[in-house]
Amino acid sequence: MATKFLLKLYVTGQTANSRRAIENLKSVLETELKGIYTLKIIDVLKYPNLAEEDKILATPTLTKVLPPPVRKIIGDLSDKKKVLLGLDLTVKKKQFVDAV
């Protein structure tokens, strides 16, 4: 299946925030966007120039490059619902019903 979502996750080395963000994000992607996403994980300590290009200051920062518009989510992504909202993804109907 073709990639519909291009995502970048900026992290700083192996900090607790970085590890948590990677775990949280992977779990969201595997349940919600399985097979239609590409994720690049960028360590700003190794690639500060990439952080410069994307004007990243905080880590972790998740950017959604595709589909437009570009979105940025800062933090360890510990709230799944907010992550989905931040990526312009509507929460699946099943979950919505569950929540009600």
Partner 1 sequence: MAKKLSKVASGIPGFDDISHGGIPKGRTTLVSGTTGSGKTAFSAQFLYEGIVNFGENGVFVTFEETPQDIIRNTKGFGWNIDKLVKENKWAFMDASPDYSSSVEVGQYDLGAFLARIAYAIKKVKAKRVVIDSVSALFTHYHYYRVVRQELHKLVANLKESNVTCIMTAERLLEDGQISRYGVEEFVSDNVILLHNRLNLHGERERTIEILKFRGLSHDSEEAPLLVSVRGINIYPRPKPKLRGKGFSQKTSTGIKGLDDMLYGGIYKNSTTLITGASGSGKTVATLHFIMEGAKRSVKSLLIEFEESPDQLYRNAASFGWDLKKYVDNGIVELLCHYPEDLRAEQYLQMIQDLVIAKKVKRVVFDSISDIQRIYNERKFRTFVIGLNAFLKMHDVTSVFTNTTSQILGVTEITETNLSTLSDNIIILKYVELGGRMHRLISALKERGSMHKRDLMEFEITEESGVDIIGPFKDAENLMSGFARRIRQMGLNKEEAERDFIAEVAAGKI
Using alpha carbons, select from 76, 96, 54, 68 the residue that is nearest to residue 4.
68
What one-character DSSP code corresponds to residue 83? H
**Dihedral sign for Cα atoms in the order 25, 54, 86, 60:** positive
Which of 30, 31, 58, 92 is close enough to bind partner 1 by CB under 8 A? 58
Task: With contacts defined by CB under 8 A, name the span among 1-9, 12-20, 30-38, 91-99 that binds partner 1.
Answer: 12-20
User: How near is the Cβ of 89 to partner 1 at its closest, in Å?
Assistant: 13
Nearest to 35 by CA among 5, 9, 8: 5
Which of 49, 94, 98, 100 is close enough to bind partner 1 by CB under 8 A?
49
Minimum gap (Å) between residue 61 Cβ and partner 1: 7
37 vs 75, which CB is nearer to partner 1? 75
